[in-house]
Structure 1
Amino acid sequence: MRAAHGLILAALLVLAGCSGVPATGTDAPGTTATTPTAGGAAEATAETDGSNDAGTGTDTTVPDDRTALDDPPTDRIGWEAGYWANESLSVTNSDGLNESELDAVVARSMARVEVVRDREFRESVPVEIISRSEFKSESMPELTESLRTVDNAKFEAMFFVGEDRSSIQAQLDNQGENVLGYFDPRNDTIKLVSDSGQPQLRNERTLGHELVHAMQDQYHNLSAITGETRDENNGQSALIEGEARTVGLAYEGRCGDGWDCVSATSTPPSDIHFGIYLLNFFPYSDGPGLIGHLREQGGWDAVDAAFDDPPESAEQAIYPDKYTPPRDSPATVSLSDTATDGWTRVRPASPVAGSERADYGRLGQSALSAMFAYTLYDSSGPALVTPEQVVNRNDRSDPLNYDLPMTDGWAGDRLHVYENGDAGRNQTAYVWRLTWNSSTDAREFADGYRRLLRYWGGSPADGHENVWTIPEDDSFGDAFRVTRENETITVVNAPTVADLDAVHQP
């Protein structure tokens, strides 16, 4: 294990969960902010001073005398279903919450979210506590074969999952072990995952985080917010998860400081693919910064307005000034299909009839940064980045950096996937074109990418300019052609050097 592991694990906070249906983070419609992710041991014991308080309202909306908390004549912020935000409850979480105890905890947590977010819930929110085995059994998404093929190629392109394994299964394994809870907008229900075998609430902030998603859905209809690419989904998720995490951190800051909060002991997740984790952690890490930027511009009203026109890319969350006017939208990247010799384009078909999705991949800056940062966890060679470049040790609201030197300056990217079934080959390839703000930015990425190829066992191919190969017996064993023309880089991947020209003409 690298020395960097412990450092970054301490920064990867256990997340409260996410909004939406459990999914794998594919570019399928309806997967905006739907990848439940969690990990790291630190947050179970971490403390906060509450300086990130999200609300403009304060506890002055709630009676100070906790022994005389009469019900108000009408519903109001800080009171829900008979419970005030600062009310003490007599519940036993250690042996599991019974139905009446769970109802009380949920009602009080709703009142607390109202106080922090300074907004009233429009209706009650059903909450269930399920076992981890139940969560795993219901997490398998419905995906077409073409979607699986394209997803495999994307995760291979990021050097996360090789050809010997399904990328979908790798993502399911990650979320199956580490998710704490999620909000399902299909039935407006929150499901919290318990590891104890009992209906036990791991920590109250998890519930508060998911209740923010329920509130978002009541005001903004989360099901209507869908992106056509992974990158667009990540930008939208930064808004959705950023608000929930901002409120959640402020909520947690009040636990023990005027609020009694329910919690339970827990063990850290033991089996995490850190590359996938870094990929999916992005909205939670950079989302609060986006929310803070919007609130500086116009308070919570600016956050609400953003739901009508959410970010188009992860870059707009990494650098929030690129989201607010004048907006810096992703560049349109042109890429022609020139495949021959049995190679044909795979256009991912959605399992949902009529759903809009792009027939190409756009991975975005956050994915590129995760691709390089993953080398901190793997032992294939010296890492391509330092822990100091990736980790903000003292900032729980923004623990990781996704603006690495080799990814800063991203303008757009487009990935096409190809397959060849001739003579029973059943092989895949891809062409990945990336555009940068300047030739200097492009050169820096190209240099970093060639170092990445070497990290994963690649070496220059004799007699072939700009071509690299990774040994065939490796899970990433393929040929790669990396060319740069001014601000544009084109990566062509194929099973062999001889296949490169057939997949894409130079």
Structure 2
Amino acid sequence: MTSLFLAVSFALAAVAQQPPHLAREVESGLELIRSGDALADSGKVNEAQIRYHEAMERILPSVRGLALKHPVKRDETPREQLGKVLVDEWEQDVSPEKFRRDDATWKTLGLIPPEFDLKGAYVKLLTEEVAAFYDPKTKTMHLIREPEDEPAADGKDKPLTKKDDKPPTLLELIMGPQPKFDKDGARIVIAHELTHALGDQHFDLDAMLDAVKVDDDAALALSALIEGDATLTMMAVAQQDWTGTQIVAMPAQGLSRLVRWFGTFLPMMGGTTARNSPPVMYQSLLFPYVNGLVFCAHLTNAGGWPALDAAYKNPPLSTEQILHPEKYAGPEADPPTAIDLGEIRTPEGWADLGRNCIGELTIRIMLARQGGNQAAAGWDGDTLAVFAGKDDPKRLGMVWLSTWDTEADADQFADALQKYWMPTDEPAALVQQGAAPTTRTITGGFVTTTGKDVLVVRGFDGPVAKAVAEDVMKNHKKREKTFPKANPPRPVGA
């Protein structure tokens, strides 16, 4: 009790040092939290959530250092209907063409089994593990309307807050339903989602996310910035850091060590559906929150909240920069290389499904049993083109060109790929080795290294594979990757 009293006292003392208008807003927000808690304890959980929403609109500008330009539109949707809302929005956002490309990409890389129902897995995840969320397309905060318990027989309302249950995990708080209404969890989830609304009002998150739709690696990096920001702000709210001054000083290295420590126990995090998903789904889901948090802490350690604001105007471009924050800015900055494969003559009988960037994170996941962290560490850029048979859409072909920091990194990656795609009872083979490009055989194709570049061709017969490889090596172009100019990040109204 003494430690709690001291924590609250220190937090209120910090609030008192804020500009008067912010201090007044925080005090008003805290009063709304107390009102919401009382409503929750009396069983009126839906009214409590509205109070928490109103409270966080007053408190977050003080914590995050960004003014709320206008109140956030709010919607209350019954839990049993919210899953459908999420699925409908996901289907509107992900075109059939993009989904087909992504599904084929993961399958041709061996990240999910050939018969895996990826759409069904996404729908199950969206409908089973649902919490309040902010939608940047509609600028709406969706609160979940929960069924409310009836008053007890003695005339007193039954408390709905959790007492003896195991504390929810990070992903369960943000994405998953709880067996009973959790006041603390509801407050910090609403704080997390309203941080997105705050960022959207200042930086137009919808336009930024739309700009990287065709580049999964850049999209994951941007999501890490957005979710890391919201998670850091959420943590400030959870520890009653109403001025946001304590959380920005929390050492990123400490968070990084914590992430590495519980990496072994990742299957314990998140809800059942998330935990039972293929590693590429689960780890891609977890990455923006966990690694994004560490990345954002690196920025705030150096420059406070303004450093995060600056990152929205100069976003990270790769998961490499999230995994290694020193590569994002400063003397060790390493902007990724964009690779344009150029014109590839689509083989007869094949359909070109599109291009994508795979990136360091997904390569780590893919090559986990072949020393993925080391094999992916020298990544500098890549582009993969995926094809499907016109007569047999399940027949997939791929052309994947990547470039690496050093020739040794390229060789290490190629060796790992050969182990990944070569059956254990089939001897590894070097078709060609020497000063000229080195070619390694793999099941269904080959891997060729030329200096710092690695080319993978799989799924085609010999003459077609050779022609496709020649097209790529002849026509590809490289440049330093930049944020797409079609929808550049910008402050709203600028």
TM interval, short-chain normalised? 0.5 to 0.7
Q: Kindly tell me the number of residue pairs found equivalent between the two proteins.
A: 385
CA contact (8 A) 1:434 1:488 kept: yes
- Report the alpha carbon displacement of residue 243 of structure 1 after superposing the two structures with TM: 0.9
Distance in 1, Cα, partners of 2:24 & 2:113: 53
CA contact (8 A) 2:385 2:400 kept: yes
* Residue in structure 2 matched with residue 90 of structure 1 by the alignment: 38
- The equivalences for 1:306-455 within 5 A come to 306-325=311-330, 327-336=333-342, 337-347=344-354, 360-373=355-368, 383-384=369-370, 404-421=373-390, 427-454=395-422
- The equivalences for 1:168-187 within 5 A come to 168-187=119-138
Question: Secondary structure at 2:272's aligned position in 1?
Answer: coil
| Residue type of the alignment partner of 1:90 | A
**Cα separation, partners in 2 of 1:428 and 1:132, compared to 1, 3 Å:** farther
* TM-score w.r.t. length of structure 1: 0.65
- Report the alpha carbon displacement of residue 433 of structure 1 after superposing the two structures with TM: 1.2
Distance in 1, Cα, partners of 2:189 & 2:425: 43
Per-residue CA deviations over 1:243-279 (Å, capped at 9, x if unaligned) read: 1111112222349xxxxxxxxxxx9622331321102
* Residue in structure 1 matched with residue 231 of structure 2 by the alignment: 245
* Residue in structure 1 matched with residue 72 of structure 2 by the alignment: 125
1:293 counterpart = 2:298: yes
Larger deviation, residues 162-171 vs 81-90: 81-90
Unaligned runs of 5+ residues in structure 2 are: 147-176, 242-268, 432-438, 474-494
- Report the alpha carbon displacement of residue 436 of structure 1 after superposing the two structures with TM: 0.6
If asked which structure has higher relative contact order (CA below 8 Å, sep 6+), I would say: 1
* TM-score w.r.t. length of structure 2: 0.67
Distance in 2, Cα, partners of 1:86 & 1:95: 14
| Residue type of the alignment partner of 2:271 | P
Distance in 1, Cα, partners of 2:296 & 2:179: 36
Aligned-residue Cα RMSD (Å) equals: 3.8
- Report the alpha carbon displacement of residue 502 of structure 1 after superposing the two structures with TM: 6.0
Per-residue CA deviations over 1:70-120 (Å, capped at 9, x if unaligned) read: xx9898441457836677731226855133x32222222334434432444
- Report the alpha carbon displacement of residue 499 of structure 1 after superposing the two structures with TM: 6.0
Unaligned runs of 5+ residues in structure 1 are: 1-48, 65-71, 256-266, 348-359, 374-382, 386-402, 470-478
- The equivalences for 1:240-279 within 5 A come to 240-254=226-240, 269-271=271-273, 272-273=276-277, 274-279=279-284
**Cα separation, partners in 2 of 1:178 and 1:459, compared to 1, 3 Å:** farther
**Cα separation, partners in 2 of 1:94 and 1:372, compared to 1, 3 Å:** farther
CA contact (8 A) 2:32 2:51 kept: no
CA contact (8 A) 2:386 2:396 kept: yes
| Residue type of the alignment partner of 1:468 | I
**Cα separation, partners in 2 of 1:503 and 1:133, compared to 1, 3 Å:** farther
- Report the alpha carbon displacement of residue 169 of structure 1 after superposing the two structures with TM: 3.2
Distance in 1, Cα, partners of 2:235 & 2:21: 31
Per-residue CA deviations over 1:416-446 (Å, capped at 9, x if unaligned) read: 122332x567633111111110111112222
Percent identical pairs in the alignment equals 24
Distance in 2, Cα, partners of 1:328 & 1:428: 33
Question: Secondary structure at 2:137's aligned position in 1?
Answer: coil
The structure with the greater share of residues assigned to helix is 2
**Cα separation, partners in 2 of 1:346 and 1:250, compared to 1, 3 Å:** same
* Residue in structure 1 matched with residue 255 of structure 2 by the alignment: none
- Report the alpha carbon displacement of residue 209 of structure 1 after superposing the two structures with TM: 0.7
Question: Secondary structure at 1:89's aligned position in 2?
Answer: helix
Q: 2:442 aligns with which of 463, 468, 484?
A: 468
Distance in 1, Cα, partners of 2:222 & 2:178: 33
Distance in 2, Cα, partners of 1:454 & 1:329: 32
* Residue in structure 2 matched with residue 150 of structure 1 by the alignment: 101
